[in-house]
Structure 1
Amino acid sequence: MNTAHYAHWPQGLPHHLITPSTSVYENLRISALRYPDKAAIIFYDSVLTYRQLHQEVLALAGYLQQVAGVGKGDRVLLNMQNSPQFVISFYAILRADAMVVPVNPMLMTDELEHYLQDSGAKAAIVAQELFPRLQPLIGHAELKHVIVATYADHLTRDTNLKVPEFVQTASQVQDNAQVSGWRTVMQAALLPSEHLAGPDDLACMPYTSGTTGKPKGCIHTHSSVMFNIVGSPTWSGAIVPNHVSLAVLPFFHVTGMQSVMNAMIYCGGTLVILPRWDRDTAGQLITRYNVTSWTLVPSMMIDFLSNPRVDEYDLSRLNRVSGGGAAMPAAIAQKLLDLSGQVYMEGYGLSETMAPSHLNPPQKMKQQCLGVPYFNVDSRIVDPTTLQEVRQGETGEIWIHGPQVFKGYWNDPQKTAEAFAELDGKQFFRSGDLGYIDPDGFFFFTDRLKRMINASGFKVWPAEVESMMYQHPAIQECCIIAARDAYRGETVKAVVVRKPGNEVSADEIIRWAHEKMAAYKVPRLVEFVETLPKSGTGKVMWRTLQEKEAATQTS
């Protein structure tokens, strides 16, 4: 184990962190006891105190158990934008001793069907504007009951902020035996039974995709989720209830879920929530509520700093600006520093590690750098072929051993076995990312061992998109590759062979794709070719197409 990074360790912090041996729900219960009248959530100027938040969590947990039939270890799908209801739902599912299955609100019906079938979720909590996509699936697989949330129910005060129409829309839910509106649930005020879940029980299952094309559920217990809830704010010195965090990263994604939502609830801080990115509203909220911490992806920061009104906003209370998902361009990081005095803290993590395994030390932050293995983490750079550790400075696969590493892929023992390897008597997770370690012990990303496109921090797995594209009646063959994009970093490109005699256009394919898959997966570019390059065994040589695309972008 390389310990060169210990020389740059945050002053006064231990190398190994002790975290609570409780369920994640207990973090909310304790904060509600400590700070009952403090603002837990601010949503377009409407305030929800910790006492109110906890009361709604108990009411929803009781309803899940007594009406939806949710029991210990059952999976509950959670499908909505950032909102008070997302936070309430997350903690209510845990309070009901069940497992949260968070999904991207961009997903369409065909995509949602896989999540329901694979997870075996017997209940779902969904936002009103997303309900039409889920409604046809009620009764399929194990799904028996759906609770529909309306964001407007938590708009309790007038505001001069710009509130999107989908947030303002009043409840239109029609209750029946299988569907319950949020107000119905709260008015029932059913109390949950004794809380039984402990550190080793199922807590959360974010999905990640891969080379097979089907998303895989990452099994996390309360213990693996808890570690980064405590570790992340401890590392940056944010464990004080005075902190106010602007929540713009989606809560369904592990970074927004852990480093923002769950970390603030643990600390007793305040979440200022935006359901959808809006640079003007973000600036107004930072100013109005003296935001102290802000986690976001580079594309958001690029947009924020390009706003001609940016000088109108008061960023003086910010003491931590952080993120990941993609490297922050040096010019943007410098502009942030000039404007706010803040150095952008970069980190590295995956769904399999429930957010960070590596972070930059606050007193020595390197740019375009993954950081160092933080509390309790042993990370190595290993030759992916020989499975032997490489020398410092050489490139290899990033391997991770730590308490936040997942327990395996749901219902997929083969992929689970392939994801782990032993080294020096320890089980390491093989990240599939390539990188190297510098003389200071800092990790840097160089390439991917697996096919993946990173579009504004969203992971797009080409095999998954290809499997959906083949449903188009005019497509004979298709290969998905990455194309450079000035704003998104990378974007999705489809290289398509049309069926003989078919003259379908690129625009027609793109419009069709928008109906079938989440917007971030949809190819922005379509190139038609006569044939795709293939190996002697008939496999499409995607890397040849990727290298050709890269060459056109640099020429």
Structure 2
Amino acid sequence: MTPETPCPVDADAPHARFWPTRVPRAIEPPQTSLWFNLEVSARRFPNKPATVFFDRVMTYPELQQQAERVAAWLHARGVRRGDRVILFLQNCPQYLVAYYGILRANAVVVPVNPMNKADELGHYITDPQARVAIAAADLAPALCAADAALPAAQRLHELLVLHYRDAMPDDAFEGDTVPPAWREWLGTRHPLPTLTQGRVTDWADALACTDPLPPHEVGPDDLAVLPYTSGTTGLPKGCMHPHRTLMHNAVAAAIWTNGTAENVGLLVLPMFHITGMVAGMHTSVYLGATAVIMPRWDRDLAGRLISRWKVTHWTNIPTMVIDLLASPNVERYDLSSLVFIGGGGAAMPAAVAQRLQERFGLRYVEGYGLTETAAPSHHNPPDRPKLQCLGVPFIGCAAQVVDPDTLQPLPTGEAGEIVVSGPMVFEGYWLRPEATAAVFFERDGRRWFRTGDMGRVDEEGYFFITDRLKRMINASGFKVWPAEVEALMFRHPAIAEACVIGVPDAYRGETVKAVVVLRQEARGTVREDDIIAWCHEHMAAYKAPRLVEFVDALPKSGSGKVMWRLLQEQARAAAASTPAST
């Protein structure tokens, strides 16, 4: 497809008055693959920490050298240009090594959420037609179990297994460096699992590979990453992002946040997710900055790392800030090094934002984007943010609010569907031409992407979300797609029907509720807690319903469709009428 040209903000656009003076309105990013960002930073900064993981430093040259060895290993195992390689692990230095190694091998990264269980993983092998995977040792058995359940022709051929422990300092488990709850998880050395009809290799053996590197052949228009996103129906879909879409937003995020090579970022958003991947990992490597990596969220570890490494930039979700400020130890932490703090995924409560500004002089800067838009399509100007606001169209991006039926632009203040166009927009859904056609339309010589989010734009050109066309549930920034959860729940032998909805939650913003009709023989013997426990065994924890309600029947329309919106409205009305506990 033809790359979208940048759309410089019109001088007459309402938000032009508030555009940061130091920020260009459109950019010309490097016309290379993302790999060259690492190669350049390694040559420019031979002694610079690229990553910090529990106080162990990996320099840029070390990162490059290890990524090249992984690339050589992949090539020796038959990986060729355009082949898809699964990446299944939590945040750690090896994530960057593996990711850039896949790119160096001219292949395509398929990042998979490490919270997924075996029942969910088969799709991520079969849909991208992956034959090679890289996984953490604690997660690899689930991937192997999913692989064993597939037809022989669709199974993995190669699996590379790593341990987080190998990227940590020798004394990591002394003192308070590692949270106590993580010590067994991070410290255990697991035996290599078995693939039904493939080979399993230890990470150290891949790094020791002496095979020659293949020529680096890919450029900006080649496919780089295939992150998966779900929708209102069906299984998750792969979003086709070439190098140029991620490159654009990696460079643009650096400019927007006044980034330099002296940045020290706290990289706690998961790198499998588009925001952690682009605004966290790729922006840091492009700048030659330092990424202080957290494998999971822990508020006191975050406080210690910000203090210890003088973190300057922290992209997060609001619940992380809420949690850190609620820590009884918050007074011990020195957050004075922070110059930028912001994120998205959920609205920042006004009271928390005010406390952040009063205590630390920091304005929380919210942004908005989807997997399809390589993270930000909108962002608040750091010097003039609005709370609970998506911001203004990002560098090079055009955005409008349109009538979802006619697709014609609507007047200021009127609610409609948000549509975007620009060089960060993906090319389409992998092997889903009909789904791709459904989310794009042409007008005025531009290709517009339908976000599925309802919003409005104010008189100053700032965008706000008002509702969603899709059924997506936003739980602490994690996107939960009811159709996917329902499909998994229908595997439970006691469930006849299930409808999954989002209900208000004081901490998570929204939480997942399942309204369930039990089979006749299960009524009176299966409890709500049984369903919740089963869901936690068979799906990622953030997807699993926290609330289950048994009903005799689900409300249905005349055409037989479950009236999920009615159930959701009833649940929200009930929540609004229930006094808050004190």
Q: Does 2:304 align with 1:284?
A: yes
Cα distance in 1 for partners of 2:251, 2:211 equals 31
Q: Is the 8 A contact 1:493 1:523 kept in 2?
A: yes
- How far apart, in 2, do the equivalents of 1:419 and 1:12 lie? 34
Q: Could you tell me how far apart the structure 2 residues matched to 1:519 and 1:150 are?
A: 22
- Out of 157, 178, 183, the residue aligned to residue 162 of structure 1 is 178
Out of 3, 7, 16, the position equivalent to 2:13 is 3
Deviation per residue, 1:151-186 (Å, 9 max, x gap): 111113424312522222235336896100101111
Distance across 2 between alignment mates of 1:41 and 1:97: 23
Q: Which residue of 1 aligns with 2:5?
A: none
Q: CA deviation at 1:473?
A: 1.0
Q: Structure 1 stretch 305-314 or stretch 164-173: which is displaced more?
A: 164-173
| Equivalent pair of 2:141/2:193 in contact (CA under 8 Å) | no
- Which residue of 539, 545, 553 maps to 2:561? 539
The answer to whether the Cα contact below 8 Å between 1:61 and 1:191 also exists between their aligned partners in 2 is no
- State the aligned residue count: 553
RMSD: 1.3
CA distance in 1, matches of 2:22, 2:303: 34
1:9-31 CA distance string (max 9 Å, x none): 11132211110000001100100
What is the distance in 2 between the residues matched to 1:188 and 1:306? Answer: 47
Give the structure 2 partner of residue 517 of structure 1. Answer: 539
Q: Does 1:463 align with 2:483?
A: yes
SS of corresponding position for 2:417: strand
Residue 154 of structure 2 is matched in structure 1 by: 141
**One-letter identity of the residue aligned with 2:561:** K
Kept in 2, the 8 Å contact 1:453–1:460? The answer is yes
Deviations 1:99-124 (A, max 9, x none): 00101000011211011110101110
2:49 to 16, 24, 39: 39
Q: Residue 50 of structure 2 contacts residue 57 of structure 2 at CA under 8 Å; is this kept in 1?
A: yes
Choose 488-497 or 331-340, whichever is displaced more: 331-340
Distance 1:282 1:83 in 2: 15
Match of 2:456 among 436, 450, 455: 436
Aligned twin of 1:221: 242
SS in 2 for 1:483: strand
What's the offset of the Cα at 1:189?
3.8
Q: Which residue of 1 aligns with 2:382?
A: 362
The aligned amino acid for 2:362 is Q
Matched-pair identity in %:
51
Show the 5 A alignment for 1:363-402. Answer: 363-402=383-422
Contact 1:213 1:465 in 2 (8 A): no
Distance of 1:367 and 1:157 partners within structure 2: 44
- Find 2:466's aligned residue among 446, 453, 468: 446
- Deviation at 1:241? 1.1
- Alpha-carbon deviations, 1:369-408, whole Å to 9, x = none? 1000021111000000121110011000000001010000
The range that moved more, 132-141 or 327-336, is: 132-141
Shift of 1:301: 1.1
* 1:224-253 Cα shifts (integer Å, max 9, x gaps): 111111011111111x11110011110000
> Unpaired runs of 5+ in structure 1?
none
Contact 2:555–2:562, Cα closer than 8 Å, also in 1: yes
1:5 partner amino acid: H
Offset at 1:71? 0.4
Contact 1:38/1:49 (<8 A) preserved:
yes
Query: In the alignment, which residue of structure 2 is the partner of 1:63?
Result: 73
Q: Does 1:349 align with 2:362?
A: no
Tell me what 2:262 maps to: 242
Residues 36-67 of structure 1 show CA distances to partners (whole Å, capped at 9, x for unaligned) of 11111100011111111111000001001102
CA contact (8 A) 2:144 2:194 kept: no
Aligned-pair CA distance for 1:35: 0.4
**338, 345, 350: which is aligned to 1:318?**
338
Question: Residue 233 of structure 1: SS of its match in structure 2?
Answer: helix
Aligned counterparts of 1:141 and 1:185: Cα–Cα separation in 2: 24
1:519 is paired with a residue of what secondary structure? coil
Match of 1:505 in 2: 527
How far residue 542 of structure 1 moved from its aligned partner, in angstroms, is 0.5
The answer (yes or no) to whether the contact 1:78–1:102 under 8 Å persists in 2 is yes
SS at match of 1:129: coil
| Counterpart Cα distance in 2 of 1:140 and 1:209 | 25
User: Which residue of structure 2 lines up, in the alignment, with residue 80 of structure 1?
Assistant: 89
Among 147, 151, 163, which residue is 2:164 paired with?
151
Choose the corresponding residue for 2:105, options 91, 96, 101: 96
TM-score where L is the length of structure 1: 0.98
Shift of 1:213: 3.0
The corresponding residue for 2:224 is: 203
CA distance in 2, matches of 1:438, 1:506: 44
Alignment partners' CA distance in 1, 2:63 and 2:187: 20
> Secondary structure of 1:119's match?
coil
1:272 is paired with a residue whose SS is strand
